[in-house]
Amino acid sequence: MKRTAFVIALIFEALWVSAQKAPGFTISHLTGDFYIYTTWQPIDGKPFPANGMYVVTAQGIVIIDSPWDTAQAVPFLDSIERRHHTRAIAAFATHFHSDRTGAYAIFQKRGIRTWSGCQTKTLCIERKEAVPQYCFTADTTFDFGDHMLQTFYPGEGHTKDNIVIWFDKEKILYGGCLVKSAEATGIGNVADANLNEWRNTISKLKKRFSSPTFIIPGHQDYEFSSFGSYTPFDY
């Protein structure tokens, strides 16, 4: 009887440990050539998701941000290149934290050009995060043939360097960690935040991109398309 109880206890322990382990990564189709990918890291003992995005262009795959779980970077790249029969050519980081830049050294070894704002690159060097190869000093438009990507710095919020990325033809706003999901129950990591300016920064974002079709936050659920529902916080 004691042996049976011991075996049952081991089974329950194994199931609990398995439940705490995050999935490797997931990829969801957003619209057209756009896809959302998600990886996880443990927060308070539970897997917590981080979103990134990629778009398949005529020139190759363009990735926004980085897998948070860097162990998934190579499987992720292999998967999307196999799936779309083209290679990843460029990646853009929306701020300096590791959930945005963590796999950039791996990307660079694959010949992927890594970009960020110059403020982000400087902070990556200072904080010993993975460093993008190239940077831009002002809002910049990148032309990838059938898709154009615009970077926009609305001001300080989650970090002092956070930018967003806009695809005008499709009206897709990738907000990164500056934008909080309606699913969020807290404001998240504020170690590098400017809580006094966050409200003003979001106001600038709303004025600049007033009617997005999709808004993608850095974490949690992204299935919404209006600023009215994009955040539980009164910024």
95 an active-site residue?
yes
Q: CA-to-CA distance for 135 and 14, rounded, in angstroms?
A: 46
Q: CA-to-CA distance for 176 and 218, rounded, in angstroms?
A: 4
Q: CA-to-CA distance for 86 and 144, rounded, in angstroms?
A: 14
CB atoms within 10 A of CB 9: 10
Q: CA-to-CA distance for 162 and 82, rounded, in angstroms?
A: 31
Could you give the C-alpha distances from 118 to 33, 63, 74, in angstroms and in order? 28, 18, 26
Contact 78/109 with Cβ under 8 angstroms?
A: no
What does the domain layout of the chain look like in residue ranges?
Answer: 24-229
Contact 54/105 with Cβ under 8 angstroms?
A: no
97 an active-site residue?
yes
pLDDT in tens, 72-111: 999 999 999 999 999 999 999 999 999 999 999 999 999 9
Contact 197/210 with Cβ under 8 angstroms?
A: no
189 an active-site residue?
yes
pLDDT in tens, 118-166: 999 999 999 999 999 999 999 999 999 999 999 999 999 999 999 999 9
The catalytically annotated residue of 33, 158, 161, 219 is: 158
The correct answer on CATH 3.20.20.100 for the domain covering 24-229 is no
